[in-house]
Amino acid sequence: MQWLNFDKLEAYKKLEGLAGRVDLKTVMAGEEGAKRVAAYQAPMAENMVFSYAARPVDDTLLDTLQILADEAQLTEKYAALYNGEVINTGEKRQVLHQLCRGQLGDDVIVDGVNKRAFYVEQQKKAAAFAEKVHSGEIVCEDGGKFTTAVQIGIGGSDLGPRALYLALENWAKVNGTLKMQARFISNVDPDDATSVLSDIDLAHALFIVVSKSGTTLETLTNEMFVKEALVKAGLDPKRHMAAVTSETSPLAGNPDYLEAVYMDDYIGGRYSSSSAVGAVILSLAFGPEVYAEILDGAAAEDALAKNTDIRQNPDMLDALIGVYERNFLGYAMTAVLPYSQALIRFPAHLQQLDMESNGKSVNRFGEPVSYQTGPILFGEPGTNGQHSFYQLLHQGTTIVPIQFVGFKKNQMDNDVVIENSTSQQKLSANVAAQIMAFACGKDAEDPNKYFAGGRGSSIIVGDKLTPGALGALLAHFENKVMFQGFVWNVNSFDQEGVQLGKVLAKRVLAKDTDGALTAYSELLGIF
């Protein structure tokens, strides 16, 4: 297996020569366009479809992207990853998040531990803990059941689990599986904790402190914040706190917590929703069965990602088209626009996933790369975005590739017919319309009303946003980011870029500053 820079590959030059050959406005028009929609689909897990007809590729480009996939050994690298090679070279670690949700290859043994067995054990521990809380075996001081679970964590301990919780909260309400309400405290802004605490029934609240090292500034601060509030309310923090942490952290095996469920160094924060980080809070909220369905959906998508034929591998295909857009069409951004209000925080999770993984300027050997890497990602649910920033997407001077997500049915089985269509039909009609408006544009005499078109998008379509579909979506984007990292030859699994700010913040708090750092500290009235 070879780890070559992208611009050293033969396929790089081939793609350079093909750049810009597809005029979306032409290929998406008329019956030709309809044929394209039928042809340019890849099946995803959970009966979902990745439709890429409106992205600026054709068969020649797809064939060349297949050559790139082969030359960059994407399938081999994925196999190396799930078979336990040290893919996170910077930190000299395996990358094992897929192992939480199924066995794709060999047993992975690290330091004598079978990691799959370890992850399953922790999932069982999370499930058993949740069941004890639900059954009333673990109760509050007043003998009542816990009604609210509050995750205290930041970054990957917050964004992924929060996005997944919000994605399924309404689904669970309708399906009778909302066992507990979940809330999240993340920001070191004291008003974040105060706001959540003032809004819940503290006597019946269970807090999950999530920190791998047990030393995350924001999380430990918020834990102390919450403990003070519990004590002030005459409650015993030990009866209200559980921990998700590594086995070597100060939170592990500590009698201050009702339970400690373990994570390890082989799953990065942004990939940790499938680990204990997601398992505890989501099992508490929805029950372990629902959590298992999320993992099953993700596992099915992981399995699809093994396909060497990119047309049968939606995650790899999405990755490759994205690379083509980034490096040969010069698009620096990606908008993720789910037509589902439940996915309101999913783009915020993807922002971390994508930008923290591939926002790098050096390759996996620490050498500067001479091409663009990870894009900037943002998004909001449609139709809301249509009444907001879509103006720029349609008529601005910068082109932003779009990833739509849509579902045939809504989650809550409640809808009304108004003017001959349901709200769900209106929602879906809008996303169909947007794809075509972006692709084909519209001529007009009034130049204000002219739409250039040629703005590409793909759409993932599912039946309904169920736990399984959500898991498949989660894995799709994780795998997409992984494959792009392989192509760009970067290490997608470290995040050295977050360290410098931490070091400087500590210096401010220790009053060990000079120059402009002192001046800013004074401006902000820190001391």
| 286 lines the binding site for a copy of itself (CB under 8 A) | no
Query: Which one, 123 or 351, has the nearer CB to a copy of itself?
Result: 351
Footprint on residues 434-453 left by a copy of itself (CB under 8 A) = 434-437, 439, 441-442, 446-452
**Known catalytic membership, residue 387:** yes
Smallest distance, Å, CB 120 to a copy of itself?
A: 28
Q: Which residues contact 59 (CB under 8 A, 6 or more apart)?
A: none
Do 494 and 90 touch, CB atoms closer than 8 A?
Answer: yes
| 1 lines the binding site for a copy of itself (CB under 8 A) | no
Separation CA 45–CA 170 (nearest Å): 22
Footprint on residues 38-77 left by a copy of itself (CB under 8 A) = 38, 41, 49, 51, 53-54
**Known catalytic membership, residue 349:** no
Amino acid identity, residue 138? I
How many residues form the binding site for a copy of itself (CB under 8 A)?
164
The 3-state DSSP class for residue 241 equals strand
Query: Which one, 120 or 452, has the nearer CB to a copy of itself?
Result: 452
Smallest distance, Å, CB 158 to a copy of itself?
A: 7
Footprint on residues 463-522 left by a copy of itself (CB under 8 A) = 463, 491, 494-509, 514-521
Query: Which one, 112 or 525, has the nearer CB to a copy of itself?
Result: 525
Which residue in 262, 254, 213 sits closest to 115, CA to CA? 262
Query: Which one, 125 or 179, has the nearer CB to a copy of itself?
Result: 179
Q: Fill in the per-residue mask, 333 to 372: x = in contact with a copy of itself (CB under 8 A), - = not in contact.
A: x-----xxxx-----x--xx--xx-xxxxx---xxxx-xx
Footprint on residues 154-213 left by a copy of itself (CB under 8 A) = 154-156, 158-159, 169-170, 173, 186-195, 198
Smallest distance, Å, CB 427 to a copy of itself?
A: 5
Footprint on residues 235-264 left by a copy of itself (CB under 8 A) = none
| 433 lines the binding site for a copy of itself (CB under 8 A) | yes
Separation CA 131–CA 173 (nearest Å): 18
Residue 125 in tokens: 């521990």
Smallest distance, Å, CB 527 to a copy of itself?
A: 7
Q: Which residue has the tokens 């974040």?
A: 192
**114 phi and psi angles, rounded to 5 deg:** -75, 110
Smallest distance, Å, CB 136 to a copy of itself?
A: 26
Distance of CA 52 to the CA centre of its chain: 20
| 228 lines the binding site for a copy of itself (CB under 8 A) | yes
**Known catalytic membership, residue 240:** no
Catalytic hit among 92, 232, 387, 419: 387
Q: Fill in the per-residue mask, 287 to 326: x = in contact with a copy of itself (CB under 8 A), - = not in contact.
A: ----------------------------------------
Which residue in 493, 487, 374 sits closest to 4, CA to CA? 487
Please state, as a whole number, how many other Cβ atoms lie within 10 Å of the Cβ of residue 13. Answer: 11
Residue 7 in tokens: 């611009």
Q: Which residues contact 372 (CB under 8 A, 6 or more apart)?
A: 326, 327, 332
Q: Which residues contact 67 (CB under 8 A, 6 or more apart)?
A: 10, 11, 14
| 34 lines the binding site for a copy of itself (CB under 8 A) | yes
| 79 lines the binding site for a copy of itself (CB under 8 A) | no
Half-sphere exposure in the Cβ direction for 440 (13 Å, CA): 16
Which residue in 327, 325, 314, 332 sits closest to 405, CA to CA? 314
Catalytic hit among 8, 238, 502, 506: 502
Beta bridge partners of residue 275, listed in sequence order? none
Q: Which residues contact 89 (CB under 8 A, 6 or more apart)?
A: 364, 365, 491
Catalytic residues: 356, 387, 502
